[in-house]
C-alpha cells in the first residue's frame, strides 16, 4: 500500500512539474509576442500578408516558408531599414521579383503613379529577365529623361551610381532611380547587342498624361488615334471621354496605341476592354486555389467600329490583357512586335510606417487560354520598322501602317455595301 501511495505521489509530483513547465513555456511565448519590437512586427506582418495572398502556396513547402519566418525573427532587427532588408532576404527564396517590400518613398511613389498624373524620377518601367534575373527596361515614359537619353525597351540596367543591379535586385534598383526633382543619378546601360554606355540622368517630375487622342485625316477617310501610356485609376473614364469625342468627330476607324504601356492597375485595363467589347470574355484569372475566374464584358460599348491596336516589347501586364482580349475576340488587328510577357497580377498591401508590400496574387490567361507569362502576345501583323521618336507624330511609320490598313478595310467595306445595289439594278 505504501508502495502504491509512493507511486501516486511520484506521478502527482511529475504531473505538477509538467504543468509548471507547460505554463511557463506558454507564459514565455506570450511574453515574447508581447515584447516583439516594432521592427520585428513589421517583418511578421509582411510574412503574414504574403502567406495569406501569394498565388503559388506550393512554393511555401519547397522553401520551408515557416522555417524562414522563424529564422528571420531570430535575427537582430532594431531599425526599420534592418526590417526591410530582413523582409527582402525572407522573400528572395520565392523567386518572384514582383513580390517585394516597398519602403515609404517607393510605396508613396507607386501609389501616386497608380492614382495620380505625375511622378518624380527618370521615367523607367523595369522588369526582370526570367532566365538571367537581369534588370531589364520594360518601357520608358513619354517625355521623360530616360526617353530623351535614348534608353529603349530591352536595354539592361547594369549599375546605378556604381552599384551593380544584380547586387541591388529589381526593387532596390527602381528605388535608387527615383528621387527628388533636380537630383542626378549615374546609370550604366547595356543594349541587347552588348553595347555598354554610362548616362547621367537628372530626375524630374514626369507628366504621365495617360490618355492622348487626336484625329487623323487623309483624302478619303477620318481615323481616330488613341494612345494609353499606362493604366491608372482615372484612365477608364478618360478613355470613355476620348472615345465620345472621337465619335462626335465622326471617325470611321480607331488606332489604339499601347506601345511602351507597361501596365498599372489591372482593373483599369479590364474596364477599357469592357468599353470596346460586347458580351465577350476579357480575361481569365487563376488564384492560389486554382480557381479560374472568367471576366466578361457588358453588352454596351463605347466604340464598335473597326480597330487596329499597336503593341511592342514595352507593352506589358494590363496592356497585354487588353491586347489579348481584343485579338482573341477578333475585335482588333494587332500590329507591331512581340509584347513583353508579364502574366502575373500584384496586389498592394499596406505595412506599418507608411511602407507596403506588393504580392503576386494571381496569374491570367487570354480568352483563348493563352498563357502570357514569359511569352507575350504575337501580333497578327509584324512590323519590321524602327519605333518613332515621338509616338503618334507625322513621322510615326507604325501609325501610318495602321492608317493604311484601316483605309484599305474601309474601302473594301464600301465596295461590299455597294455591290448588292448594283446587282439589284442589273436584275
Active site residues: 317, 328, 342
Give the integer Cα–Cα distance in Å for 321 and 119.
24
Helix, strand, or coil (residue 250): coil
What is the torsional sign of CA 378, 383, 386, 388? negative
Q: Report which of 312, 230, 302 is spatially closest to residue 273, judged by C-alpha positions.
A: 302
Name the E strands within 141-272. Answer: 156-160, 163-164, 184-190, 196-202, 204-207, 211-217, 222-228, 253-257
What is the torsional sign of CA 87, 90, 94, 95? positive
Give the integer Cα–Cα distance in Å for 192 and 149.
16
What is the torsional sign of CA 32, 38, 40, 46? positive
Give the integer Cα–Cα distance in Å for 36 and 122.
39
Contact status, residue 261 vs residue 233, Cβ threshold 8 Å: no
Record the cell numbers describing residue 178, joined without a space.
Answer: 527615383
> CA 299: distance to chain centroid?
28
Burial (0-12, 13-18, 19+ Cβ within 10 Å), 302: middle
Give the largest CA-CA distance in the chain.
Answer: 126
Burial (0-12, 13-18, 19+ Cβ within 10 Å), 34: exposed
Record the cell numbers describing residue 151, joined without a space.
Answer: 534608353
Give the integer Cα–Cα distance in Å for 331 and 368.
14
Rounded to 5°, the CA angle 346-334-390 comes to 80
Half-sphere exposure of 13 (CA within 13 A, CB side): 6
Contact status, residue 322 vs residue 262, Cβ threshold 8 Å: no
Give the integer Cα–Cα distance in Å for 214 and 216.
7
Amino acid at each position: 500500500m505504501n508502495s502504491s501511495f509512493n507511486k501516486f505521489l511520484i506521478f502527482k509530483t511529475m504531473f505538477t512539474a509538467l504543468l509548471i513547465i507547460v505554463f511557463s513555456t506558454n507564459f514565455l511565448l506570450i511574453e515574447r509576442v508581447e515584447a516583439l519590437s516594432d521592427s520585428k512586427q513589421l517583418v511578421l506582418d509582411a510574412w503574414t500578408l504574403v502567406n495569406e495572398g501569394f498565388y503559388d502556396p506550393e512554393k511555401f513547402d519547397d522553401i520551408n516558408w515557416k522555417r524562414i519566418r522563424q529564422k528571420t525573427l531570430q535575427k537582430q532587427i532594431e531599425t526599420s531599414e534592418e526590417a526591410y532588408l530582413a523582409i527582402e532576404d525572407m522573400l528572395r527564396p520565392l523567386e518572384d521579383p514582383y513580390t517585394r517590400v516597398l519602403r515609404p518613398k517607393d510605396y508613396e511613389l507607386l501609389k501616386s503613379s497608380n492614382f495620380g498624373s505625375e511622378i518624380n524620377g527618370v521615367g523607367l518601367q523595369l522588369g526582370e529577365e526570367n532566365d538571367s534575373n537581369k534588370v531589364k527596361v520594360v518601357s520608358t515614359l513619354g517625355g521623360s529623361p530616360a526617353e530623351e537619353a535614348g534608353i529603349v525597351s530591352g536595354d539592361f540596367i547594369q549599375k546605378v551610381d556604381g552599384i551593380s543591379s544584380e547586387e541591388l535586385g529589381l526593387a532596390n534598383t527602381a528605388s535608387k532611380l527615383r528621387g527628388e526633382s533636380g537630383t542626378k543619378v549615374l546609370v550604366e546601360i547595356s543594349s541587347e547587342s552588348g553595347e555598354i554606355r554610362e548616362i547621367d540622368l537628372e530626375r524630374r517630375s514626369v507628366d504621365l498624361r495617360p490618355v492622348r487622342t487626336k484625329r487623323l485625316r487623309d483624302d478619303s477617310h477620318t481615323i481616330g488615334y488613341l494612345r494609353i501610356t499606362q493604366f491608372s485609376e482615372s484612365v477608364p473614364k478618360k478613355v470613355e471621354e476620348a472615345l465620345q469625342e472621337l465619335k462626335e468627330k465622326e471617325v470611321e476607324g480607331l488606332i489604339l496605341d499601347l506601345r511602351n504601356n507597361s501596365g498599372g492597375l489591372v482593373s483599369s485595363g479590364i474596364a477599357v476592354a469592357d468599353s470596346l467589347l460586347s458580351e465577350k470574355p476579357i480575361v481569365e484569372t487563376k488564384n492560389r486555389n486554382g480557381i479560374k475566374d472568367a471576366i466578361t464584358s457588358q453588352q454596351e460599348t463605347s466604340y464598335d467600329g473597326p480597330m487596329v491596336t499597336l503593341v511592342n516589347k514595352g507593352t506589358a501586364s494590363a496592356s497585354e490583357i487588353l491586347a489579348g482580349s481584343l485579338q482573341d475576340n477578333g475585335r482588333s488587328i494587332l500590329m507591331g512586335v512581340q509584347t513583353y510577357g508579364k502574366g502575373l497580377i500584384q496586389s498592394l498591401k499596406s505595412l506599418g510606417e507608411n511602407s507596403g508590400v506588393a504580392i503576386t496574387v494571381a496569374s491570367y490567361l487570354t480568352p483563348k487560354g493563352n498563357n502570357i507569362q514569359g511569352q507575350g502576345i504575337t501580333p497578327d501583323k509584324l512590323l519590321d520598322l524602327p519605333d518613332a521618336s515621338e509616338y503618334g507624330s507625322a513621322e510615326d511609320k507604325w501609325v501610318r501602317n495602321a492608317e493604311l490598313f484601316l483605309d484599305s478595310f474601309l474601302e473594301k467595306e464600301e465596295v461590299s455595301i455597294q455591290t448588292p445595289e448594283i446587282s439589284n439594278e442589273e436584275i
